[in-house]
Each structure stands twice: as structure tokens, then as C-alpha cells.
Amino acid sequence: MLRNALEPWHILVVVLVMVVLFGSKKLPDTARALGKSMRILKSEARAMKADGAGETAAPSGPAAPGSPADSRR
């Protein structure tokens, strides 16, 4: 059904619509901002993944009074 979902003329139509919407002078700035946003998103996702791997042994909530985890404080 969707074997040829993205053909070259689809990409051409998307580029033309972007040029009409943003104008040719704003496109480089828009692309630069999009690239910067993607880099930030990737780095934050990597940081969250690294934090998640390090926190698997730590308790996730407050310890109940009198529990062994409470005595660590």
C-alpha cells in the first residue's frame, strides 16, 4: 500500500511549500535553528539514558520511617 510513499516529487512539493511559507531569506536561519534543536534533543536524550542507567540501583521514592533505607541518612 505504501511502497512508494516518498517519491522525489513529494520532496519537491515540500521544499516549494517551505519556500513559499518562510521565504528564501529565512530558510537558512530556519534550517540552522532546526539543526541546533535536533542536536540539543539528542544530547538531552543521551543524558537521560545515561542517568536512567545509573539510577537503577537507587531507591526511587522517600524511605519509610524506621526502614533500613532511612538509617542511611
The more confidently predicted of residues 5 and 33 is 33
Question: Exposure of 8 by Cβ count < 10 A (0-12 exposed, 13-18 middle, 19+ buried)?
Answer: exposed
Give pLDDT tens digits for 11-35: 899 989 988 888 888 888 988 999 9
**How far is 46 from 39, CA to CA, in rounded Å?**
11
**How far is 28 from 22, CA to CA, in rounded Å?**
10
The more confidently predicted of residues 22 and 2 is 22
Q: What is the pTM of this model?
A: 0.47
- Return the pLDDT at 69: 55
Give pLDDT tens digits for 37-72: 999 999 999 999 988 876 655 555 565 566 555 555
- Return the pLDDT at 73: 47
- Residue ranges of domains in the chain: 23-51
